[in-house]
């Protein structure tokens, strides 16, 4: 089995890592069965555990991207149970400790790949499973083992969940404005698009580009440009409804996605954004179906934005701030 090839073929990281954990557990059981630490080692049980772990690893890798989030939770609970059996059936104190360390791998995995609430629940499950397996262990043990490994799991989960939460936030939000970045916007859109389809709502997407943003930077410096972007993010976010998405894709480009029964919600919301701040901008909007790739919908809205920009350049300059803020986005269609 070529593990790197399977991973390159599209196996998600969380699936491949769990498969590696199961493989290591299986190979550890196989090594102990082949070279037992004591005459009382239950070699037959270890052979069964080897087959179970390796089968679980192979199943995860072959399923790849088809593994559902629910099945991932099932797999983690299953491996936690297997580790508990390994601890309970260990013939020596050394084997018991080595097996019990497998619980820390599950805790680290949960902290990295699951939300903080789920990770803490798994930490509680691990502590309970460890206690039960130690109570029924064949090898001599002490309560200090339970306390030590439980503390390792809780501290590891607490540190890693805080760290991964910050990493996820950094990966999904724009560092300057706090709005969604391209990655965060795409993931949020992937969640709301099926919901809008089930409710029979239209989804409209608008691309917004600030007018003469380069002049702001030239006259006031980049700090002035940054302040303008931050101000716009604050007032525009306040104008949004629950469920509306607003992201910054870089520079002075913003992207908005709204859902509603008529498809005109983008026009109404863009009008509110125009009234919320005196900065001038141009927008292009388009309806997007639940099946259409997000990038395609953004490209269509961006094409309308470009045409609106060209139309503005060929027209006379606006005579008032109100004219300059006039919504020039094409209606969603």
Instruction: Report whether pLDDT(162) > 60.
Output: yes
| % pLDDT > 70, the chain | 91
Instruction: Report whether pLDDT(119) > 60.
Output: yes
| % pLDDT > 90, the chain | 50
Co-location of 251 and 305 in the same domain:
yes
252 is catalytic: yes
Contacts of 91 by beta carbon, 8 Å cutoff, 6+ apart: 36, 37, 38, 40, 41, 42, 138, 139
Query: Across all residues in the chain, what is the average pLDDT?
Result: 85
Co-location of 147 and 187 in the same domain:
no
Co-location of 59 and 199 in the same domain:
no
Looking at residue 243, its pLDDT comes to 84
Number of domains in the chain: 2
Looking at residue 10, its pLDDT comes to 62
Instruction: Report whether pLDDT(192) > 70.
Output: yes
Tell me which of 113, 148, 172 is where a domain ends.
172
Looking at residue 169, its pLDDT comes to 75
Banded model confidence at residue 3, pLDDT cuts 50, 70, 90: very low
Q: What is the mean pLDDT of residues 250-273?
A: 85
Looking at residue 320, its pLDDT comes to 38
Co-location of 106 and 163 in the same domain:
yes
Tell me which of 172, 197, 213 is where a domain ends.
172
Q: 84, 234, 111: which is closest to 167 by C-alpha?
A: 111
Contacts of 156 by beta carbon, 8 Å cutoff, 6+ apart: 104, 107, 108, 111
Looking at residue 166, its pLDDT comes to 80
| Rounded-to-integer distance, Cα 19 and Cα 287, Å | 41
Domain that holds residue 317: 182-324
Co-location of 47 and 152 in the same domain:
yes
Q: What is the mean pLDDT of residues 50-74?
A: 91
- Does some domain include residue 331? no
Q: At what angle do helices 93-113 and 143-172 cross, to 10 degrees?
A: 20
| Catalytic choice (174, 209, 211, 252) | 252
Tell me which of 106, 140, 172 is where a domain ends.
172
Which runs of E-coded beta strand occur in the chain?
202-210, 245-250, 253-260, 281-287
Cα 153 → chain centroid: 23
Co-location of 141 and 37 in the same domain:
yes
């Amino acid at each position: 089995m070529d593990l790197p090839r399977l991973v390159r073929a599209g196996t998600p990281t969380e699936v491949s890592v769990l498969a590696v954990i199961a493989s290591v557990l299986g190979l550890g059981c196989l090594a102990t069965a082949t070279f037992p630490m004591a005459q009382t080692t239950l070699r037959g049980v270890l052979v069964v555990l080897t087959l179970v772990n390796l089968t679980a690893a192979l199943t995860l890798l072959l399923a790849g991207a088809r593994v559902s989030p629910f099945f991932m939770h099932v797999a983690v609970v299953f491996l936690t149970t297997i580790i508990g059996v390994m601890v309970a059936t260990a013939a020596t104190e050394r084997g018991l400790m080595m097996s019990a360390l497998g619980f820390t791998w599950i805790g680290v995995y949960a902290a990295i790949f699951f939300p903080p609430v789920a990770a803490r629940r798994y930490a509680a499950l691990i502590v309970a499973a460890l206690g039960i397996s130690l109570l029924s262990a064949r090898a001599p043990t002490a309560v200090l083992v339970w306390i030590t490994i439980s503390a390792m799991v809780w501290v590891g989960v607490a540190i890693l969940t805080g760290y991964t939460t910050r990493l996820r936030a950094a990966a999904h939000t724009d560092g300057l404005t706090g709005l969604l970045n391209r990655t965060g916007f795409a993931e949020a859109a992937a969640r709301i698009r099926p919901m809008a389809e089930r409710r029979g709502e239209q989804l409209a997407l608008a691309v917004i580009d600030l007018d003469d943003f380069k002049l702001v930077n030239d006259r006031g410096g980049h700090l002035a440009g940054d302040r303008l972007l931050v101000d716009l993010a604050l007032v525009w976010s306040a104008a949004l409804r629950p469920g509306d998405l607003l992201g910054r894709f870089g520079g002075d480009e913003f992207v908005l996605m709204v859902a509603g029964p008529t498809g005109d919600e983008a026009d109404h919301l863009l009008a509110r954004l125009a009234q919320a701040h005196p900065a001038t901008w141009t927008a292009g909007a388009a309806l997007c179906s639940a099946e259409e790739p997000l990038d395609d919908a953004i490209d269509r809205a961006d094409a309308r934005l470009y045409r609106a920009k060209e139309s503005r350049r060929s027209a006379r300059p606006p005579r008032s701030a109100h004219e300059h803020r006039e919504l020039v986005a094409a209606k969603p269609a």
